Amino acid sequence: MFSTIPDVLDQREIEELRGIAARAAFIDGRASAPGAPLKNNLVVGDRGLLERSAQIVADALFRNEDFRVLAFPKAMMPPILTRYGAGMYYGTHVDAAFMPHPGRSLRSDLSCTVFLSDPADYEGGALVVRLGTEEVRLRAPAGAAIVYPSTTLHRVEEVTRGERLVALTFIESRIADAERRDLLHELKEIGAIAGPAMDIDTYTRLQRVEENLFRRWADPD
Ligand SMILES: O=C(O)CCC(=O)C(=O)O
Ligand SMILES: [Fe+2]
């Protein structure tokens, strides 16, 4: 449902992305979401730097095994390097169902925030996701990613001190149904944890269940 994946970016990548942010010109974040009056943040405006930063973050997510068995990614929006300075926030909203993507539009199943700032670098700025009558407040260390359902209402609280530097992306999953995705993720995790202790026949039977559910539920790449 909500997952924090640690160490998606290594230290070298964090440094490179911080370096890009330091050199880049930032523009009003509303440029990427026209008609979003609730959006008050800044995105990298320089095309070359935006592409380079997107490449680093997308590669890091795709190579991460925890991310792959959680999201079963089919397609990803280019991650957008985004800065929330003091006074900036993103009001309560739901992410658009479909987003422009080369060739065809991408259905956003999962939303993802990759952190380049450490929580100590800023105050406020929590990602707050609504869950029924409750709210889940999320923060994570530099290098970590938070993945949450695009279907939820969510917001980013005002940053009251410092700077919250993040990369934001949206993922279309090979498994459209969130419940099925969650069940397969659980099965894969259990297999990873308990697999080494199983006898080979039991382990092979578990794999059969995994593969056949995947066959029934997942879209091809
Ligand atoms: O900054 C964040 O963590 C989330 C931003 C967001 O909700 C969005 O870009 O749609
Ligand atoms: Fe959002």
Q: What pLDDT does residue 127 have?
A: 98
Q: Is the pLDDT of residue 31 over 80?
A: no
Q: What pLDDT does residue 41 have?
A: 85
Q: Give pLDDT tens digits for 158-188.
A: 999 999 999 999 999 999 999 999 999 999 9
Helix orientation angle between 47-63 and 11-23, rounded to the nearest 10 degrees: 160
Q: Is the pLDDT of residue 119 over 90?
A: yes
Q: What pLDDT does residue 206 have?
A: 96
Tell me which of 113, 151, 170, 171 to substitute to probe ligand 1's pocket, judged by most ligand atoms within 8 Å of the beta carbon: 113
Is residue 169 within 6 Å of ligand 1 at its C-beta?
no
Give the 3-state secondary structure of 26-83.
EEEHHHHCCCCCCEECEEECCHHHHHHHHHHHHHHHHHCHHHHHHHCEEEECCCEEEE
The Å distance, Cα 153 to ligand 1 centre, comes to: 11
Is residue 95 within 6 Å of ligand 1 at its C-beta?
yes
Q: Give pLDDT tens digits for 77-114.
A: 999 999 999 999 999 999 999 999 988 899 999 999 99
Q: Is the pLDDT of residue 37 over 80?
A: no
Ligand 2 (ion): residues with CB under 5 Å are 95
Radius of gyration of the chain (CA): 18
Q: What pLDDT does residue 51 have?
A: 95
Q: What pLDDT does residue 54 have?
A: 97
- Separation between Cα atoms, residue 143 and residue 210, nearest integer Å: 30
| Mean predicted lDDT score pLDDT of the chain | 94
Q: Which residues contact 108 (CB under 8 A, 6 or more apart)?
A: 77, 95, 96, 97, 98, 99, 150, 170, 171, 172
Q: Is the pLDDT of residue 5 over 70?
A: yes
Asked if 145 contacts 4 with a C-beta cutoff of 8 angstroms, the reply is yes
Place of tokens 């065809």: 104
User: Percentage of the chain surpassing pLDDT 70?
Assistant: 97
Q: What pLDDT does residue 1 have?
A: 72
Is residue 145 within 6 Å of ligand 1 at its C-beta?
no
Angle at 131 between CA 129 and CA 137, to 5 degrees: 35
Q: Is 164 within any annotated ligand binding site? A: yes
Asked if 45 contacts 27 with a C-beta cutoff of 8 angstroms, the reply is yes
ipTM of model over 0.90: yes
Give the helix/strand (H/E) hosting 194.
helix 178-194
Torsion of CA 196, 73, 24, 9, to 10 degrees: 0
The residue contributing the CA closest to ligand 1 atom 10 is 95
